[in-house]
Amino acid sequence: MFDELRRAGNDANHAFGGNQRVALSNLKHARSLGIWYYRIVTKDAEFHPGAFVPPLNPKQENQALLEELATLRSELETTPTAAELAQNRPVTTRENINILCHRLPRGYCS
């Protein structure tokens, strides 16, 4: 069983094989194996994790991610960049002195 899950996972990940039905079935088997393993290791035969809750439909998840991405892009467009913020801030006297010292020959500024 472990080997079948490993092979199916490798095929899905590296060769883009399988389909949603097979992936869901493998997920259920992996969960069952995990529950069995937990009960064996902890010796807790009364462990009941509850019903299997399948993941959301990937198309619905992708839509939510696309909406979030659009929101973040619009926020990015309205947020000033560090360069824009630097241009809007007044230059201090010390910064002016540093700028001038770099323009003068060596030895004029200490």
pLDDT tens per residue across span 96-108: 777 777 777 777 6
Spacing of C-alpha 1 from chain mean position: 30
For the cut 80, the answer to whether the pLDDT of residue 6 exceeds it is no
pLDDT tops 80 at residue 33:
yes
Residue 89 domain-assigned (yes or no): yes
Residue at 109 is within a domain: no
- The tokens for 66 are 């696309």
| Domain count across the chain | 1
**Distances in whole angstroms, Cα of residue 45 to Cα of each of 2, 35, 102, 103:** 22, 10, 76, 79
Residue 110, in any domain of the structure: no
Mean pLDDT of 78-85: 75
Domain of 26, in residue numbers: 2-103
In angstroms, the CA 39 to CA 110 distance is 74
Q: Which residue has the higher pLDDT, 68 or 92?
A: 68
User: Residue 9's Cα: distance from chain center in Å?
Assistant: 21
When comparing pLDDT for 4 and 67, which is higher? 67
State the sign of the Cα–Cα–Cα–Cα dihedral 20, 25, 30, 31: positive
